[in-house]
Structure 1
């Protein structure tokens, strides 16, 4: 079907046309990854649906419906919601810091206790940030995106939540937010000289930040990453057990439900941060590579969707959404192999958890909306709505 046929008045408004425009390959891959996570949660609970697998299945079913519904939403509504959504999420982050509603869990004050529900705004701010940056860059010229005093605006959009969330302290979320913002600015056309300067500055600031800017337990995580065997029963325990699980799976794995590290509970956080170690133990090198290929296919298909969008807002937004998905995969993968400190970043769609899944599925809803409405044009607008 040609572009002209797809852009005739009313053509894309028909529900059947929109449903046909969804990239079902991407939907299928998302289901395979999430289904693998549910299967692993069932396995590590001793072949039981409780306490993780059933909850995750219900969550995924609900969010799959939400994702497909969002795929049918025209990009103009995402465009209008970008700045207000970012503002609301920033208010929630500030409420954690400056109101009694902030709730501490796992050593970090990064939850908002609303009484009837607890939410983690750091997860959702990634969505608001990507959409707000995409809308801002939609209104800028290529020269302004490359290097201009106006770049102080996107820098502030990224820097303020980064600082607030790092202060909670939630270094994992702060790292993803900072890198996602940097990725969006890079894809929007930021000058290579600025990128090189920032990279050098980041490398230079790491040692003093580790020594003087981190809490003691965070500093211990970094030192443990460098030498986990120095404290095998304390701070080095997690990563040592993860490496044992990775290695014991061999080429084909020990078999479904037969992973000793996870079944005997030697592996910590086996349903969340270290679930990929369980996959490697039970399904070996082959199973691990299969899941990594699924992740790679999701990333490549999403980037293809972004590249074909006519709207600059959709191009930048879709690329930004898949950027933080890819960062989750890279950081968690490096973490479980001992190539990065343990910072609490989940393996996307595979790990147990509601906030992370909701964020990712809404992000994929936007990517699919970009695919369905790939020929949509959005006007430049400096207004809030």
Structure 2
């Protein structure tokens, strides 16, 4: 019997009791991954805390405190804020298109310029979409979740931000939103008939999408992925150098701080998108496999937490956050190994960058809140209030 089951209902709301309900295994694994990220950022900066490693640790410390604070928030508040968070994030995504508000960098308008700071609404949407879909399915019947005309609502909830983010253009974030939404629909009990038809439609639309919808640089990345050797010093340079770094690491790697591709700066974006290649070069197959085992541990523990929730909202919200995290790891790993086009998806908690780290840790704040408040019962109905 759990500690929470042994306490009286009034005592379950005390912070000291809630604190004991945190899953410390998950917390330790998150800290371990972030620590490995800091160590690698120190290494690829040629043994210097600047400009990446120190900031990475500071950001993680702040985000960790935020995650612990969010884990104390009752699940009913996450439930009530789901739709407002979704529509607010959607408004921010649309506001990027307003002249003077959208900030353009590296050929894409992905940020909203608020004067004192810039925010990336697509990152907020990754959490807001999970919350909104979990709330809608919480109030839906089994038949509505499986095969019903009302499924147009979650489809539109996924399609609207997907279209806005893809237009920025930010294909990596758009794919994450679409695939996370699809994972939640599947977890909610979507009929296999719809899955097969939707899968066939997506496959049939891949080539027209590449030819007529993608921007030129995105199309070049796809073609480069198919044949990187065709332009080894141009478009294929990133993938070629990544493969060289990973292959040269062998079984045990070259040693910490001794990776030639990363230390001599042949490996591009070694502190962000291609940090996994730097890990493989310095620690080999054993080190990179160990790192992936830590990610797998986080995913399995999070799915276990989802299964313990008494509310359908808690189960689906936690499953959605876990799916987003897993997709980050899967897409980045495939991209670095040359198994997928380069779409700018970082390795979570390891790559340098505060926005993605904040999004991931807010997500795990929700996961922890589901663990702490797993006995909370939520009202049925998927209306706004």
Does the pair score TM above 0.5?
yes
Alignment of 1:53-202 (within 5 A): 53-202=53-202
**Equivalents in 2 of 1:73, 1:99: separation in Å?**
37
Partner of 1:351: 351
CA distance in 2, matches of 1:4, 1:362: 24
> 1-side partners of 2:91 and 2:14: how far apart?
37
Alignment of 1:235 onto 2:235? yes
Q: Which stretches in structure 2 are left out of the alignment for 5+ residues?
A: none
Summarize deviations over 1:115-135 as a string: whole Å, max 9, x none.
Answer: 211111111201000000000
**CA 1:368–1:213 in structure 2 vs 1: closer, same or farther (change >3 Å)?**
same
Match of 2:208 in 1: 208
Answer yes or no: is the 8 Å Cα contact 1:272–1:346 preserved in 2. yes
Query: Which residue of structure 1 aligns with residue 379 of structure 2?
Result: 379
Question: Contact 2:4–2:12 at 8 Å: present in 1 too?
Answer: no
Matches of 2:220 and 2:341 in 1, distance apart? Answer: 10
Displacement, 1:3? 8.3
Secondary structure, aligned partner of 2:112: strand
Give the match for residue 17 of structure 2: 17
Task: State the SS of the aligned residue for 2:360.
Answer: helix
Residue 217 of structure 2 corresponds to which residue in structure 1? Answer: 217
Could you tell me how far apart the structure 2 residues matched to 1:46 and 1:319 are? 39
- Measured against aligned partners, the alpha-carbon deviations of 1:181-225 in whole angstroms (never above 9, x if no partner) come to 000000011111101100000000001111111111111100000
Secondary structure, in 3 states, of the residue corresponding to 1:109? strand
Does the 8 Å contact 1:7/1:375 carry over to 2? Answer: no
Once the two structures are superposed, what CA deviation does each residue of 1:72-113 show, in whole Å capped at 9, x if it has no partner? 111001001111111111111001113421111122111111
Native 8 Å contact 1:3 1:375 kept in 2: no
Query: Structure 1: any 5+ residue segments left out of the alignment?
Result: none
Per the alignment, in what secondary structure is the counterpart of residue 104 of structure 1?
strand
Cα distance between partner residues in 1 of 2:23 and 2:143: 33
What do residues 145-180 of structure 1 show as CA deviations (whole Å, max 9, x unaligned)? 001111111001000000111111110000000000
**Cα distance in 2 for residues equivalent to 1:99 and 1:196:** 41
Q: Is the 8 A contact 2:137 2:382 kept in 1?
A: no
> In the alignment, which residue of structure 1 is the partner of 2:278?
278
User: Could you tell me how far apart the structure 2 residues matched to 1:9 and 1:119 are?
Assistant: 40
8 Å contact kept, 1:6–1:375: no
What is the rounded CA distance, in whole Å, between the counterparts of 2:2 and 2:329 in structure 1? 36
Aligned alpha-carbon RMSD (Å): 1.1
Normalised TM-score (structure 2): 0.98
Partner of 1:331: 331
